[in-house]
Structure 1
Amino acid sequence: MHTDYEGKKNDLLAKNPNIAFEMDCNHELYYRESNMSCNFRYESVVGTGRVEIVLEEEKEKALTLLMNHYHPVSVKFNPKFVHMTQCMKIIVNDMTAKRAMPKKNTLDYKVMQFQGEVRSPHMYEEKNRS
């Protein structure tokens, strides 16, 4: 994680570095006509751990690892901004993962466009025909 040196998050972590975390990805809203149900495909991880401050000499490596997660090309960091950024790491105590990834190859599996409200596939098709 990275953050500024001041703020509510830092104040709370200074008082108690123990945390719970959750991450999820690969979301897809789908509808099955055979049983008239909507659901989500997803993968998730939840766990608990302890936050520790990354030492000054390890910050550039930590920021590089973070950036590499989002972009394949390595970048150089301005030392001024590295010094101004607080980096933290999570020491994981325990975690568990879950996935709901039903097979897509059934005839009645329809991916729905998620726009903040759930619509039946027929309503979506009719809207697009107009």
Structure 2
Amino acid sequence: MRKAEREVVGIENFYNIALNGDVIILAFNNGDYPYILPVNYGCELKNNNLYFYFHGALEGSKYAYIYDNAKLSFEIDCNHELIVKYDKGYCTMAYDSIIGKGVLRELKNYDEIYNALDILVKHHHKDDGFKFNPAAISRTRVFEIKARSITGKSKK
């Protein structure tokens, strides 16, 4: 990293950044060009590993790239704040971000799916009491990404 003072280290710090994001950008290998997929997500820190969960419809073109053991890259950025110094004609952006690599797995077990969807919902419905309807499980595919490597950066 060019500016070492901006480097974020440690799984807890990566997790805290992930908790503040809204969208995870996934990149799959597609031969000549990567296949980019922005999705909302939920995350959890389990056994000192960071896991991300996302869901989708039962079918779609993305499933050409989404399959068990697919390797992917991901990115989350959050806490954006434009910093402007009008007198100097200078502006920059404060942010936190993580970039990493992971392996994907489709969840098939009802309890795993329910838990993943509950984590996802809680990520986006912080303390508002929203509960998803379990009837949606039969028409939803749910995936887990286990992060294998992560780097982080923060500019305040």
Task: Specify if TM > 0.5.
Answer: yes
In the other structure, the counterpart of 1:63 is 117
Q: CA deviation at 1:35?
A: 3.8
Question: After the TM superposition, which residues 48-127 of structure 1 pair with which residues of structure 2 at under 5 Å, given as runs?
Answer: 48-57=101-110, 58-71=112-125, 72=127, 73-79=129-135, 81-101=136-156
Q: Structure 1, unaligned stretches of length 5 or more?
A: 102-130
The root-mean-square deviation of aligned C-alpha atoms, in Å, is: 1.8
Q: CA deviation at 1:15?
A: 8.6
Label 1:15 to 1:52 Cα distance change in 2 as closer, same or farther (>3 A): closer
Query: For residues 29-65 of structure 1, what are the alpha-carbon distances to aligned partners after superposition, in whole Å with 9 as ceiling and x for unaligned?
Result: 1112464311000000100001100123211111111
Q: CA deviation at 1:5?
A: 2.0
Aligned partners of 1:65, 1:15: CA distance in 2, in Å?
A: 21
3-state SS in 1 of match to 2:133: coil
Q: Structure 2, unaligned stretches of length 5 or more?
A: 1-53
Aligned residues: 100
Q: What TM-score results when the alignment is normalised by the length of structure 1?
A: 0.69
**AA in 2 matched with 1:86:** R
Query: Percent identity among equivalent residues?
Result: 28
Q: What TM-score results when the alignment is normalised by the length of structure 2?
A: 0.59
Match for residue 20 of structure 1 among 64, 69, 73? 73
In the other structure, the counterpart of 1:32 is 85
Label 1:17 to 1:28 Cα distance change in 2 as closer, same or farther (>3 A): same
3-state SS in 1 of match to 2:67: helix
User: Would you tell me which structure has more strand in proportion to its own residues?
Assistant: 2
Q: CA deviation at 1:68?
A: 0.6
Label 1:15 to 1:64 Cα distance change in 2 as closer, same or farther (>3 A): closer
